[in-house]
Amino acid sequence: MQSKGKILIVDDDKSILRSLDILLENEFEIIKTISNPNIILSEYQKVNYDIVLLDMNFSGGLNTGNEGIFWLNEILKIDNNAVIILITAYGDVDLAVRTIKEGATDFIIKPWNNEKLISTLKSALKIRQSQLEIKKLGKEKESLSAEINKSAERIIGSSPSMNKIYSLIDKVATTDANVLILGENGTGKELIAKEIHKKSKRFSKPMISIDLGTITETLFESELFGHKKGAFTDAKEDRTGRFEIASGGTLFLDEIGNIPVSLQSKILTAIQKREIIPIGSNIPIPIDIRLITATNKNLDELIHQGLFREDLFYRINTVQIELPPLRERKDDIIQIAEYYLKTFALKYEKPLLKFSSNTLDTLLAYQWPGNIRELKHTIEKAVILSSGNTLQPDDFMLKQVSKQSDWPLKFDEIEKIAIERALANNSGKMVDAAKELGLTRQTLYNKLKKYKL
């Protein structure tokens, strides 16, 4: 069901404002009347109005309509899609044509017929709602294009632990329950989220993904909830937040354990109220999302340390799925390796490539601290650098191919290996390596100093 809409009425005659307020009280959700045109812009930017009903003359004795046209253009400067209907006591056809050319949606002559006025406003509201729907579809298309441009990966594995996860996905997917996915970096948490969405009732709508670990505090609200043009210095146009774009579909918040407590409350409020308020607005926008979150953090420990809100944890954790690290599902390593070999051999036009038996033993013996992501990048590099048709152990840059008796390594050793590998995977680029590891750039820099890398 479409909203009744919000209308801003501007006229210097307060008796007209009162009459319109009474006439339209059952036709619109929000009606705001102002008699001073100088506050039009500040009022318009506070509320996401669907229609502006604007008088054309505000100074006594003047009937040129220039004042109305001036304010029409001022509104269009901050919102070029604004739906503005001008009203005047002078039925000048040339003036009417001029206002339409200037960007007005329609033109009403005083005194008006009430039924015709309401009909005109309802038509204008449909135009506005169509504009907003087109805008939302455009944002969805952008997000879907971004998803499509990512490599089309799928969940691979038939080990007992993965079969349990497949069963859990099938049970939870058809519900709207919030899902929390736990697992180390590189275990495939986003793939699990996509599989849940694909099997859900919302599959025809987009799944919008956002990595919370990459968003600065200053951009957090704008990214998630959107902002209005002019809300802050760099807000040069309206921005639709991820919550709103995902409405009707699924919102995947990756690395939710990385955000500070001060920002966690904002997510909790949006989930509880099922609405968001863009920066620079005071009008709530209802949202209908299926929420899936993921983290590599121990949230129980973070709660104990006061670093994660317990009430948010219970909100996001209706169903929990914990992905095992690759070293605990060795039955799947060869299957995953063969998949990526086929993928990259095709990509780099080396279709005859295969693994030697010694290579398979090497891949099985290695502990893969970076999990599937590390295995993927390792195979891609080996394919790129290969000179024959058979990949040998020496084609893989595995610094510590440990035997089972060598495990477990100390935590610092694993962390150092993971950092070295992330830097290699990303050609030494700090920002990309930090993102792969789920760290901030400063944290990665500190660890580089710690390990003298």
Q: What is the pLDDT of residues 204-229, one digit of tens each?
A: 888 999 999 888 888 899 999 998 88
Predicted confidence (pLDDT) at residue 366 exceeds the cutoff of 70: yes
The predicted pLDDT at position 127 comes to 85
The predicted pLDDT at position 151 comes to 46
Rounded to whole angstroms, how far apart are CA atoms 432 and 336? 24
Q: How confident is the model at residue 160 (pLDDT cuts 50, 70, 90)?
A: very high
Backbone angles phi, psi at 349, to 5 degrees: 55, 50
Between residues 277 and 398, which one has the greater pLDDT? 277
Q: How confident is the model at residue 19 (pLDDT cuts 50, 70, 90)?
A: very high
pLDDT tens column, 409-453: 677 778 888 888 888 777 677 788 888 888 887 888 778 878 777
Enumerate the domain spans of the chain.
6-131, 150-322, 326-451
Residues paired with 240 in a beta bridge:
226
For residues 257-262, give the mean pLDDT.
Answer: 90
The predicted pLDDT at position 281 comes to 86
Determine how many CB atoms are found less than 10 A away from the CB of residue 90: 13
User: Does domain 326-451 match CATH 2.60.40.180?
Assistant: no
pLDDT tens column, 273-313: 999 999 988 888 999 999 999 999 999 999 999 999 999 99
Predicted confidence (pLDDT) at residue 63 exceeds the cutoff of 80: no
Q: How confident is the model at residue 405 (pLDDT cuts 50, 70, 90)?
A: very low
CA distances from 228 to 75, 166, 218, 325, 376 (A): 13, 42, 15, 43, 41
In the CATH hierarchy, which fold is given to the domain comprising 150-322? Rossmann fold (3.40.50)
Q: Do domains 6-131 and 326-451 have the same CATH topology?
A: no
Between residues 292 and 113, which one has the greater pLDDT? 292
Rounded to whole angstroms, how far apart are CA atoms 304 and 251? 27
Determine how many CB atoms are found less than 10 A away from the CB of residue 411: 8
Averaged pLDDT of the chain: 86
Q: Is the peptide bond before 111 cis (omega within 30 degrees of 0)?
A: yes
User: Does domain 6-131 match CATH 3.40.50.2300?
Assistant: yes
Q: What 3-state DSSP class applies to 113? A: coil
To the nearest whole percent, how much of the chain has pLDDT over 90? 50
For residues 259-283, give the mean pLDDT.
Answer: 92
- Lowest mean pLDDT of 41-55, 84-98, 228-242, 350-364, name the range: 84-98
CA distances from 271 to 228, 241, 264 (A): 21, 14, 11
Structure pTM? 0.64
- Lowest mean pLDDT of 4-18, 127-141, 151-165, name the range: 127-141
pLDDT tens column, 161-194: 999 999 999 999 999 999 999 999 999 999 999 9
